Amino acid sequence: MSKLLHISASPRGSDSESLRIAEVFVDAYRQAHPDDEIEHWDLWDGSLPNFAVGAKAKMTVFAGGEPRGAEGEAWAAARRTFERFDSADRLLFSVPMWNASIPYVLKQLIDVVSQPGWIFGFDAVTGYTHLLAGRGKKVAVVYTSAVWAPGLGPEFGGNFQSPYFTDWLQWTGLTDIAEIRFHPTVTGDRAAERALADTRARDIAKEF
Ligand SMILES: Cc1cc2nc3c(=O)[nH]c(=O)nc-3n(C[C@H](O)[C@H](O)[C@H](O)COP(=O)(O)O)c2cc1C
What pLDDT, on the 0 to 100 scale, is given for residue 123? 94
Query: Can you give the residue range of the structural domain that contains 68?
Result: 3-207
Contacts of 55 (CB under 8 A, 6+ apart): none
Q: Whose CA is nearest to atom 7 of ligand 1?
A: 99
CB 107 within 8 A of CB 114: no
Q: Whose CA is nearest to atom 19 of ligand 1?
A: 146
What pLDDT, on the 0 to 100 scale, is given for residue 26? 98
CATH of the domain at 69: 3.40.50.360
What pLDDT, on the 0 to 100 scale, is given for residue 34? 97
What pLDDT, on the 0 to 100 scale, is given for residue 76? 98
What pLDDT, on the 0 to 100 scale, is given for residue 160? 98
Q: Using most ligand atoms within 8 A of CB, pick from 14, 99, 164, 182 the residue to mutate for ligand 1.
A: 99
What pLDDT, on the 0 to 100 scale, is given for residue 62? 87
What pLDDT, on the 0 to 100 scale, is given for residue 164? 98
Atom from ligand 1 closest to the CA of residue 148: 11
Per-residue 3-state assignment (H helix, E strand, C coil) for the chain: CCEEEEEECCCCHHHCHHHHHHHHHHHHHHHHCCCCEEEEEECCCCCCCCCHHHHHHHHHHHCCCCCCHHHHHHHHHHHHHHHHHCCCCEEEEEEECECCECCHHHHHHHHHHCCECCCEEEECCCEEEECCCCCCCEEEEEEECCCCCCCCCHHHCCCCCHHHHHHHHHHHCCCCEEEEEECCCCCCCHHHHHHHHHHHHHHHHHHC
Q: How many domains does the chain have?
A: 1
Mean pLDDT, consecutive 10-residue segments, the chain of 208 residues? Answer: 97 98 98 98 98 96 94 98 98 98 98 97 97 98 98 97 98 98 96 98 98
